[in-house]
A and B are shown apart, each in its own frame.
Chain A
Amino acid sequence: MKAGPASLWRDRLAFDARAAVLLCAVLAALPLVITGPYAQGIILVSMYFAILSLAWNALAGYTGQFSLAPAAFAMLGGYTTALLDFYWHVPLVLAIPAAIVSTALLGLVLGKLVLNLSGPYLSLTTLAFAEIARVVIGNSHEFTRGDQGMHVATLTESRLAYYYIFLAALVLVLAVLYFMLRGRLGRFMTAVRDDAIGAESRGIDVVRVKMIVFCTSCAICGLAGSLYGTFSQLVSPELGLLQQTGLVLAMVVIGGMGSLTGSVVGALLVYLGSEWLRELGNVQVIVFALLVILFARWVPGGLWSAAVARIGRKQA
């Protein structure tokens, strides 16, 4: 990465954005080559995870808040839509945005709770929240049919159409995050991550930054969960399993914590890899848990930083 005359942050973000656009273009063109619905479905689900990964990366990678609740918020978003559809027959056009709103509000509450907590306390509390949510939903048989899950309406029966719906959502989320990161908020986010006390003493409203990012991240998870629910026409507490959060963590760590493209790449690689490994003999979680540990320990910047370093060396 050539060191420009001014801001490295700016340059890196721009590079990241260009790469993300390229990646989305590739994804848009992919169904021309990959025509089977099964394969398309796999990429579709990895886009679901990509959205979750972006949300978690914004919160953890850029702002340093290591929440363990992304899958839980996806589940909550899915259930919001499912409940609205099931009990009040709310059309999806309203039920899906409602999921965004509900998870944003829940994120507001949880965010306020964890505001003054740091590091392990924050992770513990979000873990507790995630598990409580999952257990409560799983046990509320009268309302949510418990572990069996609930049926949800769908936007369309066409898998290809859903492929592009998810891609559109991915692009939307990328755009939202890019604009957040590009301005002052992005700088303040990393400042809070690197040194919250220092950030405060320089005049940054740390509380406001944390709350904005927390709510946005939760809302994005809610959107993903809601869309996924309408796609698979089912929501169940399994959406919120800690194992799913673990998968998201793996995707971001392996892809690269400090970049948008890295999260998407990580999601694609990990999910595609896990499907392939599933066929090999159900070892996918083992492999990826191992990879997470290896990456965290020895390649903490993920694939993205390795790639950027490569490119930097070539240019030098």
Chain B
Amino acid sequence: MNLLVVDELSKRFGGVAAVNGVSFEVREGEILGLIGPNGSGKTTVLNMLSGFLPPDAGRITMDGRDVTRMPPAGLAQAGILRMFQMTRVFTRTSAFDNLLTAGMARGLSEAESTRRAQSLVEELTLGPVQHLDAGQLSGGQRKLLEFGMCFIEAPRVAMLDEPFAAVHPVMREVMAKFIRARHEQGATFLLVSHDMPIVVDLCQRAVCMNAGRVIATGGVHEVLRDHQVIEAYLGETHEGDEPPTLEVST
């Protein structure tokens, strides 16, 4: 079942089409990878999906409802939540209070938010730092906190923007575990990432963009073997060469 449908989304900056007629769906309960080299337009798509950039053309539908021009707060209330590449937390509030505020922002009562925050703190191994100001946390801890803030009330779709970039491997594992656990409970993810092993590991399907357009959609393995995708990442291939692969065998 299609949860989020993106239809012919376009955006121009000056004379350049950063996003040009992009269409894909996010199905309920899946982890969809949005991949593509730098400058392919992934972040612009994400900014449009999260309400920070109005599209020039196209539609975004969620659960059948048109949310194309909804502002970020409205989208969050509707269950489309986003994590940022440069982590955004409330720096001068304690980590625990960050979670509380996020919960109350989604409409939970303070008591309910507190309960959920307490269990999230456990799950995210943030116990020792929960009373520190979020600004004092390490980068990885902040990412985990931002996760918690997205998930304190189950989102319909969680959009993660390069969540593993520059994160300590131990933190990575905690995050991956968290994503898998939520996924098993039925959560839906849109994962924007450069990190191929993670994409292969977590995603079932993938959409690859290049130069503002979608060049491949499908199961994650077939997308990563698609020669257009490989060319986009690695440059041109020549006839007769051993076909390169984007998958790293572990």
Contact = CB atoms under 8 A, between A and B. Distances in A.
A and B touch in the complex (CB under 8 A): yes
Interface of A: 3, 6-9, 184, 187-188, 190-191, 193-195, 197-206, 258
B105 A188 contact: yes
B101 A187 contact: yes
Nearest to A186: B101
Contacts of A258: 92
A195 B88 contact: yes
Nearest to A190: B93
B207 interface: no
Given A8-B131, A191-B101, A206-B73, A201 B94 contact: no
Nearest to B104: A184
A213 B218 CA distance: 49
A195 B91 contact: yes
Interface stretch (B53-61, B74-82, B232-240): B74-82
A204 B73 contact: yes
B203 to A, nearest CB: 23
Contacts of A202: 76, 81, 101-102, 105-106, 149
B71 A198 contact: no
26 contacts: A6-B96, A7-B94, A7-B96, A8-B131, A9-B93, A184-B110, A188-B101, A190-B92, A190-B101, A193-B92, A194-B91, A194-B92, A198-B89, A198-B90, A199-B105, A200-B71, A200-B73, A201-B51, A201-B84, A202-B81, A202-B105, A203-B76, A203-B77, A203-B105, A204-B73, A204-B105
A198 B88 contact: yes
Nearest to A197: B88
Which of A9, A190, A198, A206 has the most chain B CB within a 10 Å cutoff?
A198
A201 B97 contact: no
Given A7-B97, A200-B72, 10 more contacts: A7-B100, A8-B93, A8-B94, A8-B97, A188-B101, A194-B91, A195-B88, A200-B76, A201-B50, A202-B149
Given A6-B96, A6-B114, A187 B104 contact: yes
Contacts of A201: 50-52, 72-73, 76, 81-82, 84, 88
Contacts, number: 87
A306 to B, nearest CB: 17
Contacts of B90: 190-191, 194-195, 198-199
Contacts of A193: 92
A135 B210 CA distance: 57
Contacts of B105: 184, 188, 191, 199, 202-204
B243 to A, nearest CB: 41
Nearest to A258: B92
A245 B114 CA distance: 39
Interface string B179-207: 00000000000000000000000000000
A40 B81 CA distance: 56
Nearest to A183: B110
A190 B133 CA distance: 13
A204 to B, nearest CB: 5
Contacts of A198: 84, 88-90
Given A195-B88, A202-B106, A9 B97 contact: yes
B132 to A, nearest CB: 9
A197 to B, nearest CB: 6
A90 to B, nearest CB: 41
Contacts of A187: 93, 97, 100-101, 104
Contacts of A204: 73, 105
